[in-house]
């Protein structure tokens, strides 16, 4: 296809999708991603319709020595889905999900969102571990590991990966699985977008729902220390079926929550029990009885609806800045730091979220995949959020809050989840995310599949030099 709005025209041989140039209608919309603070101007955005388009776009970029960025769901907080002056290989039109209910597997295209996967798999009463926000991309989330409510029962997203179809830096299409290109398959399960453009993922699925015992319980922020001390023991004793995430910030203005509570500082524990409703009720009973909740929304819920329940609390176009760390445990000292800092942000939209790890995640051997954080108990993300027109008041204060919070957690840190790294972490903290051994092995696979580091708009692994 040739597009001629600018001079010189850009012609991508064998490309059937849309090629958006700066003068094309829709270019400015297409270069927007989830984090509204990211403002980049690619030379062109190649909207792929299928594998052949991805091959054409990769070859075009390589032959013309252009930068390459790959866009899946566009949620990476650092904006790695976009580059300036290069080609964005945009998979946002490739969102098909094809379920094989008899085999309990699904093929998912590289631009799909988790809401697409939950929607299609739940039609068969099935699900796999995915993110906790429906508009997050499957690709970036899975390639970094993939944590979510089902992980303690069914493992990380990468633990459910059976095969991956990839377009390599040379523009070849390869299938990676335990039997085909096993080195590449290992690296793709945690090593991020370093090894090629993934056009499709094959996941294993499990019976989940459609009704599950799920939802958040909120307490006033003043109760944070007590709630976290209780939660530490509650989570440690929880069955694998029970996934939980603690959210510290304000009560979001969701339709199910009484209006007089909206924006009030609060701690919430959101749970999802991947099993029978009655067992789920028993598993969360003590949590619901603890202290004096402001509101308790734990109830039998449709799994897919629960997964999308918080989507409106982190909308596209707002400005975001993240800091994150894994926590070895929740000591009283760590809890004190969290209680001191969690509510010190100025923006009512800023919050911290803490994922309970363990269970099936911890039972996979350390070097079975490239995901390195299997032995940690909790993983906390500090999410500074402000509206675009609040940049004058919050654009500096919110990131400063996140950095202070992380700094205070220093004695309790135990690595970091690669998908939670922001732009200013990418030079120093990539090795922290992987550790030396896994990083070294990733660098060797990188040298085999992308020796010139064509795919570097990501949490980059540098190829080992031969
Ligand atoms: C609101 C929100 C909620 C989140 N919740 C969770 C959660 O519950 N669990 C969790 O684990 N993480 C979560 N994350 C983090 C998430 O895993 C990362 O932001 C991830 O990068 C998102 O992937 P994406 O495809 O949407 O992003 P993108 O920005 O499109 O891509 C991220 C990276 O992956 C690369 N990439 C994208 N698509 C492909 C592809 N098809 N082939 C090769 N490389 C590709 C990109 O080049 C980029 O470097 C969340 C993020 C947000 C913003």
CA–CA distance, 45 with 87 (Å, rounded to integer): 6
Cβ 43 vs Cβ 10: under 8 Å: yes
Task: Report which protein residue has its CA nearest ligand 1's atom 7.
Answer: 131
Which residue has tokens 């939209």?
A: 349
Task: Report which protein residue has its CA nearest ligand 1's atom 17.
Answer: 141
Which residue has tokens 């919309």?
A: 29
Cα end-to-end distance, the chain, whole Å: 38
Calculate how far, in angstroms, residue 258's C-alpha sits from the geometric centre of ligand 1: 32
* Predicted local confidence at residue 8, as pLDDT: 53
CA–CA distance, 232 with 339 (Å, rounded to integer): 14
* Predicted local confidence at residue 379, as pLDDT: 97
Task: Report which protein residue has its CA nearest ligand 1's atom 6.
Answer: 131
* Predicted local confidence at residue 428, as pLDDT: 84
Q: Which atom of ligand 1 is nearest to the CA of 71?
A: 30
Find, among 393, 424, 442, the residue nearest to 324 by Cα: 424
Helix (H) or strand (E) holding 397: helix 397-408
Block means of pLDDT (10 residues each) for the chain, 466 residues, are 51 94 96 98 98 98 97 98 97 98 98 98 98 98 98 98 98 98 98 98 98 98 98 98 98 96 98 98 98 98 97 97 96 98 98 98 97 96 97 94 98 97 91 96 98 97 87
As beta bridge partners, residue 75 has: none
pLDDT tens readout for residues 313-372: 999 999 999 999 999 899 999 999 999 999 999 999 999 999 999 999 999 999 999 999
Task: Report which protein residue has its CA nearest ligand 1's atom 19.
Answer: 76
Cβ 422 vs Cβ 76: under 8 Å: no
Mutate to test the pocket of ligand 1, among 78, 128, 140 (most ligand atoms within 8 A of CB): 140
Cβ 356 vs Cβ 378: under 8 Å: yes
Q: Which atom of ligand 1 is nearest to the CA of 146?
A: 11
Omega within 30 of 0 (cis) for the link into 353: no
CA–CA distance, 345 with 350 (Å, rounded to integer): 6
Instruction: Quote the tokens at residue 161.
Output: 């990966």
CA–CA distance, 434 with 442 (Å, rounded to integer): 9
The CA-based dihedral angle spanning residues 126, 131, 133, 139, taken in that order and rounded to the nearest 10 degrees = -100
Q: Which atom of ligand 1 is nearest to the CA of 455?
A: 47
Cβ 30 vs Cβ 90: under 8 Å: yes
CA distances from 46 to 13, 30, 43, 141, 408 (A): 12, 10, 10, 22, 43
Calculate how far, in angstroms, residue 81's C-alpha sits from the geometric centre of ligand 1: 9
* Predicted local confidence at residue 452, as pLDDT: 97
Phi first, then psi, for residue 8 (nearest 5°) are -75, 155
Average of per-residue pLDDT values in the chain: 96
CA–CA distance, 103 with 126 (Å, rounded to integer): 11
* Predicted local confidence at residue 9, as pLDDT: 61
CA 274 to chain centroid: 20
Ligand 1 neighbours by CB, cut-off 6 Å: 34, 69-77, 80-81, 91, 110, 131-133, 136-137, 139-141, 143-144, 146-148, 192-193, 197-198, 314, 419, 457-458
CA–CA distance, 139 with 121 (Å, rounded to integer): 17
Question: Which runs of consecutive H residues, i.e. helices, occur in 64-209?
Answer: 114-122, 138-144, 151-154, 182-188
As beta bridge partners, residue 122 has: none
Find, among 165, 172, 188, the residue nearest to 59 by Cα: 172
CA–CA distance, 378 with 235 (Å, rounded to integer): 10
Find, among 310, 304, 272, 364, the residue nearest to 126 by Cα: 304
CB neighbours of residue 179 within 10 Å = 9
């Amino acid at each position: 296809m040739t597009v001629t709005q600018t001079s010189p025209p850009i012609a991508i041989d064998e490309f059937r999708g849309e090629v958006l140039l700066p003068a094309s209608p829709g270019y400015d919309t297409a270069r927007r991603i989830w984090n509204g603070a990211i403002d980049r101007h690619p030379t062109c955005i190649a909207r792929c319709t299928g594998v052949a388009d991805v091959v054409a776009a990769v070859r075009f970029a390589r032959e013309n020595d252009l930068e390459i960025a790959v866009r899946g769901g566009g949620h990476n907080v650092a904006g790695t889905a976009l580059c300036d002056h290069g080609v964005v290989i945009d998979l946002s039109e490739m969102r098909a999900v094809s379920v094989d209910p008899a085999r309990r597997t699904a093929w998912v295209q590289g631009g799909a969102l988790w809401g697409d996967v939950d929607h299609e798999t739940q039609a068969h009463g099935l699900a796999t571990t995915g993110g906790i926000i429906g508009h997050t991309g499957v690709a970036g989330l899975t390639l970094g590991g993939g944590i979510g409510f089902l992980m303690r029962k069914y493992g990380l997203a990468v633990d459910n990966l059976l095969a991956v179809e990839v377009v390599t830096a040379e523009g070849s299409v390869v299938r990676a699985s335990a039997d085909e290109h096993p080195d590449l398959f290992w690296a793709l399960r945690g090593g991020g977008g370093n090894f090629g453009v993934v056009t499709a993922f094959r996941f294993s699925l499990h019976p989940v729902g459609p009704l599950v015992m799920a939802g958040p319980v909120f307490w006033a922020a003043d109760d944070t220390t007590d709630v976290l001390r209780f939660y530490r023991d509650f989570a440690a004793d929880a069955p694998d079926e029970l996934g939980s995430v603690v959210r510290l910030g304000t009560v979001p203005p969701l339709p199910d929550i009484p209006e007089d509570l909206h924006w009030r500082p609060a701690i919430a524990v959101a749970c999802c029990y991947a099993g029978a409703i009655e067992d789920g009720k028993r598993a969360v009973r003590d949590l619901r009885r603890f202290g004096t909740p402001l509101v308790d929304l734990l109830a039998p819920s449709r799994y897919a609806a629960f997964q999308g329940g918080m989507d409106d609390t982190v909308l596209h176009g707002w400005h975001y800045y993240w800091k994150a760390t894994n926590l070895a445990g929740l000591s009283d000292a760590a809890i004190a730091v969290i209680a001191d800092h969690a509510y010190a942000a100025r923006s009512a939209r800023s919050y911290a979220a803490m994922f309970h790890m363990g269970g099936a995640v911890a039972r996979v051997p350390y070097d079975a995949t490239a995901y390195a954080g299997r032995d940690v108990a909790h993983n906390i993300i500090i999410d500074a959020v402000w509206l675009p027109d609040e940049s004058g008041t919050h654009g500096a204060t919110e990131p400063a809050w996140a950095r202070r919070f992380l700094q205070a957690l220093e004695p309790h840190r135990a690595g970091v989840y690669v998908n939670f790294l922001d732009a200013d972490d990418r030079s120093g903290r990539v090795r922290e995310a992987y550790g030396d051994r896994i990083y070294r092995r990733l660098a060797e696979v990188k040298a085999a599949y992308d020796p010139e580091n064509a795919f570097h708009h990501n949490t980059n692994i540098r190829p080992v030099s031969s």
